Amino acid sequence: MILTIAALFLPLFPLSMVQNLILSRIRAPFARGALVLLWPQIGVTILQTQQPEIPAFIETWALLSAAFYAVRLLTVRDLAIWAGLFASSAVALTWGLVMQGVDETTLRLFALWFSLPAALLILLTEPISKRLGAAYAGLFAGLVERQPRLALVLTAVMLCAVATPPFPGFFALLNLMLGLDSPGVFGVLGIWLVWSWAAIRLVQGFVTGDGREISAADLGRGGALVYYAVLAVFVVAGLQFTGGNL
Amino acid sequence: MDILTFLLPTVPLLSAVIVTLLSDGPRRRVARTSIGFSVLTLLIAATALAMYLSNPRPVPVSFGINWGTLYLDPLACIMALAVAGISMVVHVYSARYMAEESGYARFFLLLDLMTASILLMVTAGDLITLLVAWHLIGVLLYFLLGHDTRRQAAQRYAFWTLFTYRLGDLPLILAAVLLYQAYDTLSLPLLFERISAAPDVATTFGLPLTSTVALLIALAAFARSAQFPLHTWLPYSMEGPTPVSALMHAGIVNAGGFIINRFAPLLVHAGEVLHLVFAVGLMTAILGSVLMLIQNDIKKALGYSTMGQMGFMFVECGVGAFSLAIYHLIAHGLFKGTLFLGAGGVIGNARKHDGVPPDDVYTFVIERKPIASRMPWVAAAVITVVAPLVVLGVSHWLVGGDFVSRQGAVILLFFGWVTGAQLIFATYRVRAESPWRLMAMIVLSLVIVVAGYTVVAHSFDLFLYPDRALSESIFEAASIPLATFEIIVAILTLAIVVGWLATYYSSANGGADGKNPSGLRLALYSLISREFYVADVYTWLTQAVFGISQRLNVWLRWA
């Protein structure tokens, strides 16, 4: 039972559908972002306090679940749904570290390194929806021509999400793989590749194009700086807590 | 020396930061700043090389954590100089070329970041730093190739490039994980020491670790250097700005040759992987050259030419001539960069010229010049076969008399002979007032080029691999049983000589002009013109994956 509850919060398919259904019901981006951030931390707390015995097949299940959501990301055009499915894919990999018996901090940080960019993507749906009517890739392409600041923030957060160095996800995935056996490493590498593929498809749908149909004002300097500051702190923290310990 | 090592990737990074701060100012200031820093980077690279030559003792520079080590050995020194030089030329060229484009500051920012990443890659002293740089190069190249965000084609092919590069990242990461798990170190010099001490470690599946890791490194190199069938991104990346094409073909695409050289102490224990590298390189060289011949777009032809050259570079690695591959990639980088940056001028000249070839009767009657002719085909065929053989044989014998005992050297001489002969064959096809004089001049040029190349290549080998035992053991690892080797060389020689004779005979007798091509020829032509359907297969696979993804999302209602 404890394991099932943990698999709900450190989402494994099909229990992961619960999180995505709840996300689709919440309208406020801040509440959605908070949910994406806190959800896996609850899972880690349950595992750490209850210490259930974890069968070996969980690792394979987690990899398959992460791969399943990664493949599904390829054809998602709605930014909020994309962020939710991405969180389901990435956070599932935390089970790989659980099986390696790492300490609580490492587990919490691993979940954070992937849930924070997902939360930032959800927050970005608001400024994009305000300007374009919906945060939907391909609806109005060419953000970089008319709203370069917003385009740059979206691209940077997406790069952070798909574990591009020097963002912490890169070091977190390396740390995970160093403790896995070869088939596990193969699995993680495949999932990582599909994330990149899906992310570029989504970013291209927003950022590139002639931008003739976009007339709204760009993201303010202050707003952009807040996102950059969060990402900068994220990079430094990643190097401090995960990258530096490799 | 330590400070120079540290400055090499840091100076272009600093330039990127300053360019970002200046991005709202005048364009000229952005370009001048970036060019200034690129000149400084080149000076640092040149000084680092000079200092290494005066005191050849590589020292790793560490940032105090387990990774982030920089290491200037001969390979890093020479590559850093080549990269910094090419980057500086591209910076200068871009200042005017990109003047009318939008995102001017962004372009220079990306160029600076790319230079920093490549320099980080060549100076990386540990596995993590190498992976970080390797990964970043692919991402930055995507943004550079897709700089014109309004053009769909540029975006599509930038994505192809990124996907292939990411595909190539995966085997390198897996190789790094396996190496760390087996030898418990991230430091490259320490890793190579431990591999030399204990090369016979097995992986989880019981496979020999050195061969498995060598294969993974070779796969990473194949993707990065456009080896068949991972080549489709290269010719289409011409959709990016010309300076990016120059930088890519002159520098970035050569990363495959670099990574193989970097892991030379590991590849010494994986002869079978070197044979695979040779086979893939040879196939790529042939296919790249064939595809180049049918292009009518100069930039795309240059793209396929690069693919062929990358194939030759891997052939060199496959026969154990690692240092020659580095020499090749630098030489190729310089001449291919020049060709790209001059492509616009060539196109401009072609538009001005009427394109009508000079007519024999016109030149004889009106210009009163003697009619151009060819030398007898039998004489030309004999010179074609014999002259390059003699020139190559004598020049190599003078530098190192024992080269015949190295299979790799014999294969390279074989390719040299084929290339030299091809040059003379091309001369035969040119009609001249004095064909014998023309032939003499060509043979003389061949002697000068071959002698110069032999001396430089020999010195280069001594510089890159001062440990002669390692150099010899690479050649030894790449060798195959002598009888097999001799049979292969004999068959290839016979095929090439018979091919030349048939071509000479056909050319002397009017060739295939005016005749209907056979069905086989037409089928072959359509196969080549569709580029062997490789891109079509990839498109089909992509659509299949999208179909699965879409169906899953619809069934599960996006949850």
Question: Which are the contacts of A242, defined by CB distance < 8 A and separation ≥ 6?
Answer: A106, A109, A110, A113, A168, A171, A172, A175
Given a contact cutoff of 8 angstroms between Cβ atoms, the answer to whether B210 and B201 are in contact is yes
> Which of B66, B170, B549 is facing A189, going by the closest CB pair?
B170
Residue B193 Cα distances to B7, B76, B188, B453, B467, angstroms: 27, 18, 9, 33, 14
> pLDDT by residue for chain B (559 residues), tens digit each?
688 889 999 999 999 999 999 988 888 899 999 999 999 999 999 999 999 888 888 778 887 777 888 989 999 999 999 999 999 999 999 999 888 888 899 999 999 999 999 999 999 999 999 999 999 999 999 999 999 888 888 899 999 999 999 999 999 999 999 999 999 999 999 999 999 998 888 776 778 899 999 999 999 999 999 999 999 888 887 788 888 988 888 888 989 999 999 999 999 999 899 999 999 999 999 999 889 888 887 778 888 988 998 998 999 899 888 888 898 888 888 888 888 788 777 777 777 776 665 666 666 666 666 666 677 778 888 888 888 888 888 887 877 666 666 666 777 777 778 878 877 777 776 767 777 888 888 888 888 888 888 888 788 888 888 888 888 888 888 888 878 878 887 888 888 878 878 877 777 776 655 567 778 888 888 888 888 899 899 999 999 999 999 999 999 988 7
Binary contact (A24, B558; C-beta < 8 A): yes
What is the greatest pairwise CA distance in chain B? 84
Report which of A66, A232, A65 is spatially closest to residue A160, judged by C-alpha positions. A232
Q: What angle do CA A51, A54, A58 make, to 5 degrees?
A: 140
B296 Cβ contact partners less than 8 Å away, ≥ 6 residues apart: none
Q: Do B400 and B496 fall into the same domain?
A: yes
Count: domains in chain A: 1
Task: Tally A–B CB contacts below 8 A.
Answer: 108
CA distance B407 to B426: 29
Q: Is residue B218 part of a domain?
A: yes
The three-point CA angle B520-B521-B526 to 5° equals: 100
Question: If phi over 0 gives left and psi between -120 and 50 gives alpha, with beta otherwise, what is residue B64?
Answer: left
Residue in A with minimal Cα distance to B117: A165
Give residue A242's identity as a one-letter amino acid code. Answer: T
Looking at the structure, tell me whether residues B407 and B551 fall in a common domain: no
Same domain, B526 and B502: no
Distance between CA A106 and CA A98 in Å, rounded? 10
- Measure CA B299 to chain center: 16
The C-alpha atoms of residue B331 and residue B310 are separated, in whole angstroms, by 12
Q: Looking at the DSSP assignment, which residues form a beta bridge with residue B373?
A: B432
Of B395, B403, B387, nearest to B456 by C-alpha is B395
Q: From CA B295, how far away is CA B303, in angstroms rounded?
A: 10
**Spatial distance between the Cα atoms of B282 and B312, rounded to a whole number of angstroms:** 7
Give the pLDDT confidence score for residue B358 in this predicted structure.
61
Residue A190 C-alpha, separation from nearest chain B C-alpha, in angstroms: 8
Query: Is B84 a domain residue?
Result: yes
Pick B556's closest partner by Cβ from A17, A190, A207: A17
In chain A, at which residue ranges do the beta strands (DSSP E only) sit?
Answer: none
Within this chain, do residues B66 and B103 fall inside the same structural domain, yes or no?
yes
pLDDT of residue B267: 93
On whether both B405 and B488 belong to a single domain, the answer is yes
- Chain A, 167 to 186: residues with Cβ < 8 Å from chain B are 170-171, 174, 177-178, 180-182, 185-186
- Domain that includes residue B243, residue range: 2-248
Convert A100-119 to b/e letters by CB count within 10 Å (16 or more is b).
Answer: bebeeebbbbbbbbbbbbbb
Q: Any CB–CB contact under 8 A between A140 and chain B? A: no
**Tens-digit pLDDT profile for residues A24-67:** 999 899 999 999 999 999 999 999 998 889 999 999 999 999 99
B146 and B9 share one domain: yes
Contact of B278 with B222, CB cutoff 8 Å: no
Q: Which amino acid, one-letter code, is at B226?
A: A
Contact call for residues A43 and A62 (beta carbons, < 8 A): no
Q: How many other C-beta atoms can be found within 10 angstroms of the C-beta atom of residue B395? A: 20
In angstroms, the CA A113 to CA B10 distance is 26
Pair B108, B84: CB distance under 8 Å:
no
pLDDT score recorded for residue B151:
87
Q: How far is CA B319 from CA B154, B349, B477, in A?
A: 37, 41, 9
Q: In a 3-state reduction of DSSP, which class is residue B53? A: helix
**CA–CA gap between residue B270 and residue B394 (Å, rounded):** 32
Q: Same domain for B497 and B538?
A: no
* Residue B501, min C-alpha distance to chain A (Å): 50
How near does any CA of chain B get to the CA of A46, in Å?
Answer: 24
How many angstroms separate the CA atoms of B3 and B176, rounded? Answer: 28
Asked if residue B378 and residue B235 are part of one domain, the reply reads no
Residue A23: how many other CB atoms lie within 10 Å: 23
pLDDT class for A211, splitting at 50, 70, 90? confident
* Interface predicted TM-score (ipTM) of this complex, two decimals: 0.94
Side chain identity, residue B485: F
Is residue B169 within 8 Å of B245, Cβ to Cβ?
A: no
Whether B146 sits inside 8 A of A208 (CB atoms) is: yes
The reply to whether B344 falls in a domain is no
Distance CA B96, CA B82 (A): 23
d(CA B107, CA B99): 11
CA distances A160 to A155, A189, A194, A196, Å, are 9, 17, 15, 11
Question: A158 lies in which domain range?
Answer: 2-245
| H-helix or E-strand spanning residue B70 | strand B70-71
Instruction: Please tell me whether residue B179 adopts helix, strand or coil conformation.
Output: helix
The token duo for B434 is 């004095």
One-letter identity of residue B278: F
d(CA A112, CA A161): 11
Q: Which amino acid is at B507?
A: S
> B174 in contact with A at a CB cutoff of 8 Å?
yes
Burial of B329 (0-12, 13-18, 19+ CB in 10 A): buried
**Are B148 and B242 in contact, with CB atoms under 8 Å apart?**
no
Q: A187-198 as b/e, with b when 16 or more CB fall inside 10 Å?
A: bbbbbbbbbbbb
List phi, psi (to 5°) of B124.
-60, 130
State both tokens at B147: 């700089």
pLDDT in tens, B462-515: 888 888 888 888 888 888 887 887 888 788 888 887 887 887 777 777 665 556
Q: How far is B145 from B158, CA to CA, in rounded Å?
A: 5
Q: What's the Cα-to-Cα distance from B51 to each of A50, B4, B44, rounded to whole Å?
A: 61, 10, 10
Q: Is A21 on the interface with B (CB under 8 A)?
A: yes
- Which residues in A lie closer than 8 A to residue B178 (C-beta atoms)? 182
Nearest to B4 by CA among B71, B103, B74: B71
CB contact under 8 A, B559 and A21: yes
Angle at which helices B152-183 and B127-145 cross, to 10°: 180
Helix (H, G, I), strand (E, B) or coil at A240: helix
User: Tokens in use for A217?
Assistant: 């004002």
Match 């200031």 to its residue by tokens: B29
**Is there a single domain that holds both residue B397 and residue B540?**
no
Specify the number of domains making up chain B: 3
Pick the last residue of a domain from B231, B248, B265.
Answer: B248
Looking at the predicted structure, is the pLDDT value of residue A212 above 80? no
Residue B18 in domain = yes
Residue A76 DSSP one-character state: -
Residue whose token pair is 């965000």: B149
Task: Work out whether the CA dihedral B438, B444, B446, B449 comes out positive or negative.
Answer: negative
Q: Does residue A193 sit at the B interface (CB-CB below 8 Å)?
A: yes
Q: Provide the Cα torsion B463, B465, B468, B473; round to 10°.
A: -150
pLDDT of residue B389: 85
Structure tokens at A149: 């600041």
Distances (CA, A) of B110 to A60, B22, B269, B440: 40, 14, 39, 49
Count of other CB atoms within 10 angstroms of residue B557: 10
- Is the pLDDT at A77 greater than 90? The verdict is yes
pLDDT tens readout for residues A140-194: 778 888 888 999 999 999 999 999 999 999 999 999 999 998 889 999 999 999 9
Question: What integer pLDDT is reported at residue A60 of this predicted model?
Answer: 95
Q: Is B538 on the interface with A (CB under 8 A)?
A: no
Whether A25 contacts chain B with CB within 8 A: no
Residues B473, B544 within the same domain: no
